[in-house]
Amino acid sequence: MRLLYCGDIMGKPGRDAVLTYIPQLRRDLSLDFVVACGENAAHGFGITAAICQNFYDAGVDVITLGNHAWDQREIINFISAEPRLLRPINYPPEAPGQGMGLYKTAKGRRVMVVQVMCRLFMDPLDDPFRALEEVLSQHPLRDAADAIIVDVHGEATSEKGALGFIADGRASMVVGSHSHIPTADTRIMPGGTAFQTDAGMCGPFDSVIGMKKHIATAKFVTKMPTERLEPADGEGTLCGVYVETDDRTGLALRAEPVRVGGVLKPALPS
180 is catalytic: no
| Rg of the Cα atoms in the chain | 17
Beta bridge partners of 178: none
Which residues does 27 contact at the CB level (< 8 Å), separation at least 6? none
8 Å CB contact between 183 and 198: yes
Q: Report the 3 state secondary structure along 104-128.
A: ECCCCCEEEEEEEECCCCCCCCCCH
Pick the closest to residue 39 from 161, 262, 203 (CA basis).
203
Please count the CA atoms within 13 angstroms of the CA of 46 that sit on its side-chain side: 13
DSSP 52: H
Catalytic residue selected from 43, 68, 153, 180: 68
Pick the closest to residue 161 from 178, 181, 175, 141 (CA basis).
175
C-alpha 52, offset from chain centre: 14
Which sequence positions are flagged as catalytic? 68
